Amino acid sequence: MLTHLVFWGLAVVAVLAGVAVFVVNSMARASYSLALSFIAVGLQVLLLQQLYVGVLVILMMVMEMAIMAVYMNMFMGMNPAMMSMNMVHGARHALPVSVGVFLLLAAGALFAPWPSRRGSPPEDVTVALGTELMGPKMLTMGVVGVVMAATIVSGVVLAAHRTRYDRFGDDLRRRRVADPQPGGVGR
């Protein structure tokens, strides 16, 4: 009974905080609302006995929203706490589309003949996940690692102001470095 109450409480918080992201009148509040929604979902995942993934969701999203707050302070060119949030386009279509999608998904969730549980959960879910990742699902772990590394490289290349490709050309073969302000000792 207590689990049900906690679940529904967290569900209300998650959805209302999600709605608040697009309703509040400041980007800072929007990112904190999103963080709150993620924390509520992370706690629900904990209720579903996935301790590692639940804690990971909470920690990751709190850090991500902290980065987002810094990002807004750096780039938005205004006080992020005071920005008007009435910046939408096509809201007239977006609202009916999202309500329609909700009704469709809700109908599927409520009326589909969901199967009864197959098998039983492992005794220690986290150990089972680790064993799976380091054993039969090693390929997934390897691919995830490579994708993360590629993301770091692509993110830096996209976000950097000037890289060696700007200075030495796309094939890195330019003899004279293209710097806006020539440096060195004039040779």
Partner 1 sequence: MTVRTVLLVAAALIAVGLYGALSQQVVVMVMMGLELMLNGLILAVAGLWWFCAPDPSGQVLLLVVLTAMTVEMAMGFAVATSLHRLRRSDLTDTAADLSG
Tokens of 131: 């064993």
Taking the alpha carbons at both ends of the chain, their separation in whole angstroms is 79
Check residue 81 for interaction with partner 1 (CB under 8 A). Answer: no
Nearest of 120, 142, 119, 138 to residue 129 by alpha carbon:
138
Tell me which residue has tokens 């680790």: 130
Check residue 105 for interaction with partner 1 (CB under 8 A). Answer: yes
Check residue 28 for interaction with partner 1 (CB under 8 A). Answer: no
For the CB of residue 1, give the shortest distance to partner 1 in the complex, in Å.
Answer: 10
Give just the sign of the alpha carbon dihedral 33, 34, 37, 38: negative
Report the site for partner 1 in 56-75 (rule: CB under 8 A): 56-57, 60, 64, 67-68, 71-72, 75
User: What b-and-e string marks burial along 62-98, b requiring 16 or more CB atoms within 10 Å of the CB?
Assistant: eeebeebbeebeeeeeeebeebeeeeeeeeeeeeeee
Check residue 53 for interaction with partner 1 (CB under 8 A). Answer: yes
Distance between CA atoms of residues 88 and 75, nearest Å: 20
For the CB of residue 136, give the shortest distance to partner 1 in the complex, in Å.
Answer: 8
Options 109-117, 167-175, 177-185: segment touching partner 1 (CB under 8 A): 109-117
Among 28, 32, 36, 38, binds partner 1 (CB under 8 A): 38
Check residue 173 for interaction with partner 1 (CB under 8 A). Answer: no
Check residue 87 for interaction with partner 1 (CB under 8 A). Answer: yes
Check residue 47 for interaction with partner 1 (CB under 8 A). Answer: yes
Radius of gyration of the chain (CA): 24
Nearer to partner 1 (CB atom), residue 114 or residue 184: 114
For the CB of residue 28, give the shortest distance to partner 1 in the complex, in Å.
Answer: 11
Cβ atoms of 147 and 135 closer than 8 Å: no
Distance between CA atoms of residues 121 and 49, nearest Å: 9
Nearer to partner 1 (CB atom), residue 139 or residue 185: 139
Q: How many residues bind partner 1 (CB under 8 A)?
A: 84
